[in-house]
Amino acid sequence: MTSRPEHLPERLALISDVQAAEYISTGLLEGREDVPSIALNKVAEALPGDDARLRLHRVRDLIDDAVTKFRDERPTAADAWLAPRLHETLRLTRREAAEKRLWTYMALGVAPDYVVWRHLSDPKADGSRGRVARDRFVGPHYKQTFARLWWAAELFRDGSDYQPVVVACGNQDMLNSALRLDIVDHRPTALALVGLMESGIVRTGREVNALTPAVNTAAATLMYDVIAPDVERDGEPLRDWIAGAASALPSPRNNLPEGPEEERVPEEAVRRLVAHFEELFADAPVRGRASDEGEGLCASAEGIGSDRRTR
């Protein structure tokens, strides 16, 4: 299996897709080869300054602990644990998180072994090797290994509370489909989706895959931010949270961390959308609803929603 990089610099860096292409070999995608980390770091763009958020080893230690904790479980189980802690450790703004080159460097320069461990598929029936999809290293924010976790934590947290993130990331179909939708930028919408899962109304992957396109389609005629307004966002708590990175302890491993002390989403707005989404879900076609009730496996979420979001 792909190993931990032999060379880890002190700070995170940036690497473009064009530069990364040289290091994404068939052997790496099949988990047979390591990334030549010394060569990679010679072409990577080192991030300047002494910002505590850019210390590489805090992130690497967190990833090591995720692998240790979930080594004997299905790798998908790591998502709900790692997403809030990665978000709290990095303390990025959305503008900073939109820098695709940072996530590419994390996948190749910091933790290619994690990408392979988390996303390597099973061997095929014909005996051919399993592979990691290339977009787990260099894909869009809803596919790339670390970007998808950071954005899930950013979009599903309720102010400083990461518990909704744990719920959302605990269902792979919610994580895979909702991140493609522009509507989850609206916090009451994101938390209403989580609310349907917490109440047990939506449980299986197939049900999630029926709910999310129904909610997204209805948004074309019903503006959720009008019927369920969010509070006006104040940037000061986020700035204070970022400024506190230098003195922050490592993200807690046994308890959930705390995000920026932003105002929580209005409960009434979430309740209003939960009721509306429940009605939409009642009429949504769920594949195998009668015969497959309670089945946890589901159809792929490929193609659901839109990717219009630009960050």
Write down the pLDDT at residue 287: 78
Contacts by 190-193, CB closer than 8 A, 24 or more apart = 190/155, 190/156, 190/164, 191/156, 191/158, 191/164, 191/265, 191/270, 192/228, 192/270, 192/273, 192/274, 192/276, 192/277, 193/168, 193/277
Output the pTM of the full model: 0.91
Name the percent of the chain lying above pLDDT 90. Answer: 87
> Which tens digits make up the pLDDT trace of 91-118?
999 999 999 999 999 999 999 999 999 9
Tokens, residue 135: 């977009």
- Cα 92 to chain centroid, rounded: 14
Q: In angstroms, what is the C-alpha Rg of the chain?
A: 20
Cα 298 from Cα 170, distance rounded (Å):
14
- Is pLDDT above 50 for 300? no
**For residue range 205-218, what is the model confidence (pLDDT) as tens digits?**
999 999 999 999 99
Q: Given a cut of 60, is residue 304 above it in pLDDT?
A: no
Angle between helices 267-283 and 205-218 (to 10 degrees): 110
Give CA separation, 288 vs 200, 204, 278, 293, 299, in Å.
18, 11, 19, 7, 11
Q: Which of 36-40, 96-100, 232-236, 293-297 has the lowest average pLDDT?
A: 293-297
Summarize pLDDT for 26-42 with one digit per residue, the tens.
999 999 999 999 999 99
Average pLDDT of the chain is 92
pLDDT at 288 over 50: yes
Q: What is the pLDDT of residue 235?
A: 95
Average confidence (pLDDT) over 63-88: 98
Instruction: Specify the higher pLDDT residue, 206 or 304.
Output: 206
**Contact, 142 vs 177, CB < 8 A?**
no
Cβ neighbour number for residue 297 with a 10 Å cutoff: 10
Amino acid at 17: D
pLDDT of res. 127: 81
The C-alpha atoms of residue 270 and residue 10 are separated, in whole angstroms, by 43
Which of these, 222, 206, 238, 204, lies nearest to 279 by C-alpha position? 222
Give the pLDDT score at 222: 86
Name, in order, each residue with C-beta under 8 angstroms of 283's C-beta and a sequence gap of 6 or more: 214
Residues in the chain, overall count: 311
- Say what percent of the chain tops pLDDT 70: 92
What's the CA gap between 1 and 27, in Å, rounded? Answer: 10
204, pLDDT greater than 70: yes
Over the stretch 38-56, which tens digit does the pLDDT of each residue have? 999 999 999 988 899 999 9
